[in-house]
Amino acid sequence: MGARGRMGATVVEAVRSAPDMTVALTVDAGDDLGSITPDNTDVAVEFTVPSASLRNVLTLVRSGVSVVVGTTGWTDEGFAAVRDAVDSASRAGQSVVIAPNYALSAVLMERFARQAARYFESVEVIEMHHPDKVDAPSGTALHTARVVAKAREDAGLGAMPDATTGDETSRGQVVDGVHVHAIRLRGLNAHEEVLLGNPGEQLVLRADSFDRSSFMPGVLMAVRSAASGTRPGLTVGLEPLMD
Ligand SMILES: NC(=O)C1=CN([C@@H]2O[C@H](COP(=O)(O)OP(=O)(O)OC[C@H]3O[C@@H](n4cnc5c(N)ncnc54)[C@H](OP(=O)(O)O)[C@@H]3O)[C@@H](O)[C@H]2O)C=CC1
Ligand SMILES: O=C(O)C1=N[C@H](C(=O)O)C[C@H](O)C1
């Protein structure tokens, strides 16, 4: 799904180049999703737009196909709807993987941020992307902020120091207490920094996807997992597959 888009086209080429995979169908906006069935497709890959992704995934799951999803904009309600649908699916081993970022560098950066969060007073997230991106902040930045906030909460840390008063529009979006800043700049692709601060010291974690090829090993890893049927149900994020 989304085969003519920037990510979709890159995925089509990656699957064509993979020795153990074939492209069954390419589908985009306006095409009939009903053409994708378990008879012609083991795993559908979905990179479309946040407004269409939930509907696409539910349709595919209900038709018996496993799905790997890269589209961003997912909510807890969306995850719950997909979890229910795939758990009550009739085909054994059917699965859905939804990950905001398939680049190994970004997944590892988030893991390191989770490990580090408990040791610092302050944490902020900055994401930087190409200006053709429709959503902000990025799905990855939202996910990172939630993961960091959870790690801080688990460690018993309170609110971060911030003396800002009055108009706070310059302080970014606050996600579970973590400030997230979004930059859109021609020439960039997909980049994220997590800044962690203590009195007299700073740790900067940074992941750069210079090219969409960076996402392909993770996408193919998720496709292989879904095709194997060894991890039925919903998996959120790539990290559980890497472990
Ligand atoms: N998880 C990850 O690792 C990554 C995730 N992403 C995410 O993937 C998504 C796609 O990004 P990108 O490829 O750059 O975006 P593009 O805009 O280049 O591609 C989106 C594609 O989806 C198509 N589309 C739009 N609506 C529908 C619909 N209802 N059903 C089927 N197809 C539809 C568009 O068609 P048309 O142009 O005709 O409207 C287009 O071909 C974004 O949410 C982005 O954040 C991006 C990179 C990595
Ligand atoms: O739209 C993009 O380009 C990207 N989207 C994903 C996101 O929103 O996190 C992943 C990556 O940042 C590239």
Specify the length of the chain in residues: 243
Using a 6 Å cutoff on CB, does residue 78 contact ligand 1? no
The reported pTM is: 0.96
Indicate which residue's Cα is closest to atom 3 of ligand 1: 101
Average the pLDDT over 164-169 and give the result: 92
- What pLDDT sits at residue 90? 73
Does residue 112 contact residue 123 with C-beta atoms inside 8 Å? no
Q: Packing angle between helix 139-154 and helix 104-117, nearest 10 degrees?
A: 30
- What pLDDT sits at residue 174? 97
Residues with CB under 6 A from ligand 2: 72, 100-101, 129, 133, 138-140, 190
Mutate to test the pocket of ligand 1, among 6, 7, 127, 213 (most ligand atoms within 8 A of CB): 7
Residue 136: pLDDT band by 50, 70, 90 thresholds? very high
Q: Which amino acid is at 109?
A: M
Q: How many CB atoms lie within 10 A of CB 15?
A: 20
CA distances from residue 202 to 120, 121, 191 in whole angstroms, order as listed: 9, 10, 19
Mutate to test the pocket of ligand 2, among 101, 102, 104, 146 (most ligand atoms within 8 A of CB): 101
Name, in order, each residue with C-beta under 8 angstroms of 134's C-beta and a sequence gap of 6 or more: 49, 50
Indicate which residue's Cα is closest to atom 4 of ligand 2: 190
Ligand 2 centroid from CA 101, angstroms: 7
Using a 6 Å cutoff on CB, does residue 57 contact ligand 1? no
Report all structural domains of the chain as residue ranges with CATH numbers, in order of start. 6-98+213-241 (3.40.50.720), 104-210 (3.30.360.10)
Nearest atom in ligand 2 to 133's CA: 1
Is residue 92 scored above 90 in pLDDT? no
- Decide if the complex's ipTM is over 0.95: yes
- What pLDDT sits at residue 17? 98
Checking 15-19 for CB contacts under 8 A at 24+ apart, the result is 15/45, 15/220, 15/223, 18/220
Indicate which residue's Cα is closest to atom 12 of ligand 2: 190
Name, in order, each residue with C-beta under 8 angstroms of 114's C-beta and a sequence gap of 6 or more: 147, 148, 150, 151
Name, in order, each residue with C-beta under 8 angstroms of 37's C-beta and a sequence gap of 6 or more: 63, 64, 65
Residue 221: pLDDT band by 50, 70, 90 thresholds? very high
Using a 6 Å cutoff on CB, does residue 55 contact ligand 1? no
Q: Which two tokens stand for residue 222?
A: 């998720």
Name, in order, each residue with C-beta under 8 angstroms of 107's C-beta and a sequence gap of 6 or more: 99, 101, 218, 237, 238, 239, 242
Q: What is the pLDDT of residues 8-53, one digit of tens each?
A: 999 999 999 999 999 999 999 999 999 999 999 999 999 999 999 9
Is residue 61 scored above 90 in pLDDT? yes
> Is residue 129 among the annotated active site residues?
yes
Ligand 1 centroid from CA 137, angstroms: 16
